[in-house]
Every structure is written in C-alpha cells, then in structure tokens.
Chain A
Amino acid sequence: MSTEFQGFELIKQGAEGRLFRGSYLGKPTIVKERFRKTYRHPDLDDYLTKERMKAEARAIVRSKAAGVRTPSIFLVDFERRRIYMEDIKPSITVKKFITDSLLGCSGEDALGKIKPVALEVGSIVGKLHAHNIIHGDLTTSNMLYSISEDGQITVTLIDFGLSHVENSAEDKGVDLYVLERALLSTHANADKLFPIIMQSYKKANNKDSKTVLDKFEDVRARGRKRTMVG
C-alpha cells in the first residue's frame, strides 16, 4: 500500500480512500486513491472499487454536460486505483462554510449569509436530477464552496463514487432524503436550510419535481415507520 508518490502529499483519509495533493502535467491536482479495504472480501473490494471509479468518472463527465461544476478528470488509473482530478482552490467544504457562518452570528444574519449558497446547492442538485444523475451521497462534506473576487459564488460537487444514472423518481427521492438527513444531523439550522434548497431545486428540475417530491415523502414515511421495533 503506497501512501506517498513522487511530488504528492497525503492530505486526508476520506471515507472512500486517501487524498493526495500535488501537480500533474503542470496542473494543481488531487489524487484519490481507493486503497484496498482489507476488512472486506477481496472479490467484493475489487468489484466495488472498480464500479465506483467508473461511476465517479462517468458522472463527473455527465454532470459537466448538465452544467454542474465538478472537478475535471485528468487520469483514471484502474491498476493503481487512482483518479487524478482538478484541485479546486481556493475552496472549503459547504459544511465548513455553514458551520463558520453560524459562529458568532445571530441566526437571522447567518441565514442571510448562507441563503445564496443553499440556493446554489438546490439548483445544482436540481440540474443533476433533470439529467437523471443520482449522486448517491449528497452531504455538505461533498460540496465545495468558493467565491470569486467579484463575489460570484460557486458550489462544486465532488465524490461521485456512489452515483448512477437513473430516471426513476424513487432514486431521486432517496437522493433528496439522504441530503435532508445529512443536513439535519450536521447543521443546527437545517430545518430552515432545506426548504431554501428545495425552492431552487424545484426551479432547476421543474420537469419532474412534483413526482420526485411525492416519492421523497414516501421514502420519509418509510423511514419513520421503520422505527417500530427496538
């Protein structure tokens, strides 16, 4: 298991693998190495790793076509289980942005600051779903916030390893459910954030937002029913 390679520096061990920062063909680059997870059966590990690398590469290309900002892919190396992609900088995760905004700020002020970002999040998720891309792991850790000198906010979506292409309202509903739950568990003001996100989601995905939202309610109800037995 290699932890370092020429010119690259380990920055983080995420859930999917290790992240390295460096330069590839002169461009600032992040390398995501899905190292072998020895807790799971080798066959299962090979299969999942390959599927997820494919899913990630595919969804990133598709998302770009759908007008969603994602890191560009430079190289997919199945042999070494690495994906080389654009280093989005300067940026912080949306999770950190929301947490920082809430610090030393009254609820109203913070919400005003967060609102444009929440609208952007809703809009990109809406665009994904309008193009039948299911992200599969929508959390604020998987969204990067950056702001240009003229104040233009960009939200970049990352971590497409669990994504797939599917036209079903059920899958889109589950995607939204995952997002809602991640918000509720992570952020103190999530109950106010989610409606803002949904507001711009509906605009960006007006084609089937009605059926998706119905399904979303179904999935939520299933979640609640499931707590029957301790």
Chain B
Amino acid sequence: MVIAIGFEGSANKLGIGIVKDGVVLSNCRRTYITPPGEGFLPRETAQHHRENALVVLQEALDEAKVKPEEIDVVCYTKGPGMGAPLVSTSVVALTVAQLWNKPVIGVNHCIGHIEMGRLITGANNPTVLYVSGGNTQVIAYSRRRYRIFGETIDIAVGNCLDRFARVLKLSNDPSPGYNIEQLAKKGKKLLKMPYVVKGMDVSFSGILSFMEERSQGLLGSGEYTPEDLCFSLQETIFAMLIETTERAMAHCESSEVLIVGGVGCNLRLQEMMGIMCKERNAKLFATDERFCIDNGAMIAQAGIEMFNHGWKTPWEETTCTQRYRTDDVEVIWRD
C-alpha cells in the first residue's frame, strides 16, 4: 500500500493531490486568473503559487484524512513548464519531504497526464492526444518510452486558443478555452482559414496570425460574429488534431485513444474524436476537468508507478527544468 502526495505548479494552476493505490483521496487546486486580454507571466504566477501553497496543502491533507507520517513518497513536477512557478512549487514539496523525512520523486508533467488518464479511464495501451496550453503531442508507447509521433512544430493548441481569446477580450475565468467553447456552440458560419498538417505534425502559429490580423475587420464589417469566429477556429484546429491522431493510430495499428491535457476537456473535441473512433472501430477514453486540467493527483499517480519500481530521485537531482521531453523518461513500470 503506497500513499503519495503530488505537487504540480508548472503553469498557472497550483495543484496538490493525494493518491493511495490508484484511488484519488484528494485533488485540490487554485488557478491564477489574469484580467481579460492578458496572459499569465512567470513572476506573478510564482507569487500566486507561493501565496496559496500552504492553504492548498492543508486542504489536501484534510480532505484525504491522511496524516503526514502515513505518506510514503513526495512527488513534484520537475518539468516541463515555466521556471519560476515550477521552482516555487517544488520548494514546498522538497521542504515537506525534509520535514517528514520522506523520499522524493521528480515527475515529468506530460507523463503525469498520461498515467492519470490511464488510471481514471482504464485505457490499456492507447494512442494519446496530449493537448494543453504548453503542449500538443500525439504519443504512443513502445519500447519503454512514450514516443512522440506527432506534435506541434510551433505553438501549442491551447496557446493558440488562449491568445485568440485575448483578441476577443474574453474572460480568463475559469479559462479562456472554456469561454471560447461556450461561444462556439452558438457559431454557425465557417470561416476558411489555414489548415496546417504535416504528416503527424501540426502548426498553429499561421492560424493565430491569420485570426489576429483579420478578426477586427471581420467583426467590424458584421460579416462574422465572435461566436462564428470561435466556432470556425475550433472546427479547424480540432479537425487537424483528430486527423493527426488518426494518422498515428493507422501507423501504429492502435485501436484506443486517450485525450489528456487542459484542452482535452473540451466537449466538442471529445465529440469529434468519438466520431472518428467510431468510424474505425476504436475506443475513446477521456476525462473531465478534474483530471484533464493540471492537478496534483496526476503527479502523485505517476510518482507511485515510479516508486513501486524502486525509483527515487537522489537529493542532488531534485531540480526543475523548463525543457523536459516526454520521451526523455524511461518508462520502467510498463512492459
């Protein structure tokens, strides 16, 4: 029986969660929300995490009804992510590990998403679409690594959505992507925009520039409504994601798909993926905002897998890194 606590703070969410043998006991979170038209910057985000860390930690312990001495291992996000928020969160994790005299495991954020998705949905060996504000990857497991088959060659899909939300001055509460999704439901008219797929890779920067340049004109002339633009953007970029996922599935002969990451809780994306899966007799696995969006439990879950296979991060290696690729991690817990 292993109880792990996970600390996540790689972007604008601070999450602390406790997992006991595949059961999530608590999963507490605070999100740093910026005013409409603005994104989050490293310094202010780190400050947000510092200010909230102890409150969220107490909440996670209380909710899980777990005493510090019952915890077996402390897990934290080593990377990838923004430097300052990563460090401010890891300092808390490392401090409690010292206070409670527990081993530490540094976890790759992307691996956390994948392992959480597998735990919650029961997917066995899925092709993974990992879509968030910082990452867009199509991943499949082989030879002890989560291999990246396709990814964005410039900005992440969530970054494209967030920055488009800034163009429309949409609220960042609860998240810009959520507000785009709500508006898109009322959109009807499809605007033709670049559609950029290169094999299993995608590109979003051209689409973003296109939208940034034309949105004001299209709205001003009354030709398109904000709803239409949100609808058009979603339909286009999601179609690109589904297409590359399907290509990776065909290439790997896979019949399961798992969607993880913050953008993964978009219901339209899930719906489109579901249709694609049905057409090829595949199965879709997806989760909701509790587990899709960055959280502490996912770091704990990946940490448990590593801990159960004898892994501990040596103290001198308990650092953070902004760049940490999914395929850098040797997946010792799978065959």
Contact = CB atoms under 8 A, between A and B. Distances in A.
Interface in A163-182: 174-175, 177-178, 181-182
A184 B147 contact: yes
A193 to B, nearest CB: 15
Contacts of B273: 39
Given A141-B250, A162-B199, A182-B200, A44 B235 contact: yes
A229 B235 contact: no
A162 B198 contact: yes
Nearest to B143: A188
B32 to A, nearest CB: 14
B158 to A, nearest CB: 9
| Consensus secondary structure, chain A interface | helix
Interface string B192-212: 100101111100000000000
A172 B149 CA distance: 19
Nearest to B232: A41
Interface string B123-149: 000000000111100001011000111
B280 A44 contact: no
Given A40-B242, A43-B190, A181 B201 contact: yes
Given A38-B279, A41-B190, A139-B199, A223 B251 contact: no
B10 interface: yes
A181 to B, nearest CB: 7
Contacts of A48: 195
Nearest to B294: A230
Nearest to B83: A228
Contacts of B276: 37, 39
Interface in B102-132: 109-110, 132
Given A15-B246, A43-B190, A230-B77, A182 B324 contact: no
B199 A228 contact: no
B11 interface: yes
Contact of A15 (B143, B201, B251): B251
A22 interface: no
A89 interface: no
Interface in A74-120: 95
Contacts of A138: 199
Contacts of B155: 226
A44 B236 contact: yes
Contacts of A182: 149, 199-200, 251
Interface string B234-266: 011001001100110111100000000000000
Nearest to B326: A227
B2 interface: no
Contacts of B80: 227-230
Which interface residue of B198, B199, B273 has the most chain A CB atoms within 10 A?
A: B199
A15 B154 contact: no
A138 to B, nearest CB: 7
Interface residues of A, number: 40
B151 interface: yes
Contacts of A199: none
B24 interface: no
Given A178-B200, A181-B201, A44 B239 contact: yes
Q: Name which of A14, A44, A141, A184 has the most chain B CB atoms within 10 A of its CB.
A: A44
A230 B79 contact: yes
B126 to A, nearest CB: 15
A191 B134 CA distance: 27
Interface string A208-230: 00000000000100111111111
B169 interface: no
A174 B153 contact: yes
B109 A178 contact: no
A229 B201 contact: no
Interface of A: 13-15, 35, 37-41, 43-44, 47-48, 95, 136-139, 141, 162, 174-175, 177-178, 181-182, 184-186, 188, 219, 222-230
Given A181-B148, A226-B154, A229-B133, 15 more contacts: A15-B247, A40-B242, A41-B190, A41-B235, A162-B198, A178-B200, A178-B201, A181-B200, A184-B147, A185-B142, A186-B142, A188-B143, A222-B153, A228-B323, A230-B11
29 contacts: A15-B246, A39-B239, A39-B275, A41-B239, A43-B190, A44-B195, A44-B239, A141-B251, A162-B198, A177-B201, A181-B150, A181-B199, A181-B200, A185-B140, A185-B142, A185-B147, A186-B147, A188-B143, A222-B153, A226-B152, A226-B153, A226-B154, A227-B135, A227-B324, A228-B322, A229-B10, A229-B80, A229-B159, A230-B324
